[in-house]
Structure 1
Amino acid sequence: MECSEFKITKELVGDKTCIFLSGEIDIYTCQTFKSELNEVVNTFKGDLYIDCKELSYIDSTGLGILVGALKEIRKDNNNIYICNLKDNIKKLFIITGLDKLFKID
């Protein structure tokens, strides 16, 4: 089965740490996602902005990784902002109640 390749890009935009996700986050790509995200969380301080414009799919494993990152970031009273969610993914955040935990733009 051919799936769209997962890619994560990190960028500093002014004083904001931004991550751009593309492709699919599932059982096959979640380890890469987890290690890259944890590296960002442990390296940069402040709020984290995750742009999901190019993200086509995320499963429960991926959502769990996001929640873990949020717990770490909240230790320093910071937040994760998630923007440009596609409708199918935004629906997943609403159904799971994660739209109450994360700042969704």
Structure 2
Amino acid sequence: MSNNNIVPGFNDEKDDSLRINLEKVPEVENCLTIYLIGYIDTYNSSFFQKRIARVVEAGYVNLIFNCASLNYVSSTGIGSFTAFLKMVKPKGGDVVLLEIQPKVYEVFQLLGFSQFFNIKDSMGDAVNFFKNGTQVEESVFPKIFSCPVCSKRLKATRSGRFRCSECKSILAIDQQGAVFLG
């Protein structure tokens, strides 16, 4: 199915540095997988934001960004993902980032954004998140805990990876609230 069949006019504008393919996710209401091929930087982030705004205007508020073929994201590109989260949250939607390459994930982590996004390793995990993941998280979070390295008291509002504000150790919290190094 072509992008224009899913979101009318989606392919009206193109950018050679970033190709975007859309695919409906039948198991989840108002959900699309958005395949990103190329890179996102200062020069094409406006194009990227316009295309995704069109997706949200078409009623798709549960967005799975497949980043397997995304080989670079600048801080401006990460700002775009944050804007999408702000677009869909008030409409009851959410954003999942899928199959992020290590060098791209590192940018999210260095800028402190990895904790704001739902980052999943497989399509099954992403679909399960939309089907029932949000209810699980709400019952456990926010969670106050001590850093396992320096014992600093920290607060986590959701599962994910983040850096301790005191010792800068990278920590991970799963959906049940368990804390790990890494």
Q: Which residue of 2 aligns with 1:41?
A: 56
Give the structure-2-normalised TM-score: 0.53
- Tell whether the 8 Å contact from 2:85 to 2:94 is kept in structure 1 after alignment: yes
Which consecutive segments of 4 or more residues in structure 1 shift more than 6 A?
Answer: none
- 1:51 and 2:66 matched: yes
Instruction: Select 2:22's aligned residue among 7, 10, 13.
Output: 10
Give the structure-1-normalised TM-score: 0.88
Greater alpha carbon shift after TM alignment, 20-29 vs 9-18: 9-18
What are the ranges of 5 or more consecutive residues in structure 2 without an aligned counterpart? 1-15, 121-182
Residue 26 of structure 1: how far off its partner (Å): 1.0
Larger radius of gyration: 2
Instruction: Select 1:78's aligned residue among 88, 93, 99.
Output: 93
**Larger relative contact order (CA 8 Å, sep ≥ 6):** 1
Q: Once the two structures are superposed, what CA deviation does each residue of 1:2-51 show, in whole Å capped at 9, x if it has no partner?
A: xx731111111213311000101112211211110111122133421000
- The percentage of counterpart residues that share the same residue type is 25
User: Could you say what the CA RMSD is over the residues aligned between the two structures, in angstroms?
Assistant: 1.5
What are the ranges of 5 or more consecutive residues in structure 1 without an aligned counterpart? none
